[in-house]
Amino acid sequence: MAQGATVALPVVVAKNEPLEFRRWEPHTKMALGPLEIPYPAEGEVVQPQAFLISLLGFDDAGYRLGYGAGYYDRTLARYDPKPLTIGVGFELGRLPTIHPQPHDIPMDFIVTETGVRDHRRHTAP
């Protein structure tokens, strides 16, 4: 933020719908949402260029297991092009496969305490 970046936090606007992202600053008034997760109670809706997404599990193909509601998959599916996605979790959540479903969207990067995995798909020029 000190270098001009905008920070936004997710807001569940309706069950089984994509997330909305509202601008956040240290003085932003917060409210409690599902699972008592704080979110900006009001403010400008923004379209993120990059996502930091928590994960419970992940595999070597970059797919993540979240909390089971599918909010991030629905949200990312509406963007074209897809924003940069960075999954953040712990190495103990690494699995041989999460058995991804057709609607699952892989992360570009997975970050754990052991390092950063780059899962971007490179294509030949």
> Please, what are the domains in the chain?
1-47 (no CATH), 49-125 (3.40.50.10420)
Phi, psi of 47 (to 5 degrees): -105, 110
C-alpha 86: how far from its chain's center? 7
The residues carrying an active-site annotation are 64, 73, 104
How far is the C-alpha of 70 from the C-alpha of 48, rounded, in Å? 18
pLDDT by residue (tens digit) across 1-36? 889 999 999 999 888 899 999 999 999 999 998 778
> Could you report the per-residue pLDDT of 77-99, keeping only the tens digit for each?
999 899 999 999 999 999 999 99
What pLDDT, on a 0 to 100 scale, did the predictor assign at position 94? 97
Distance CA 32, CA 77 (A): 26
* pTM for the predicted model, two decimal places: 0.88
Q: What digits encode the pLDDT tens for the residues 32-82?
A: 987 788 999 998 999 999 999 999 999 999 999 998 788 999 999 999 899
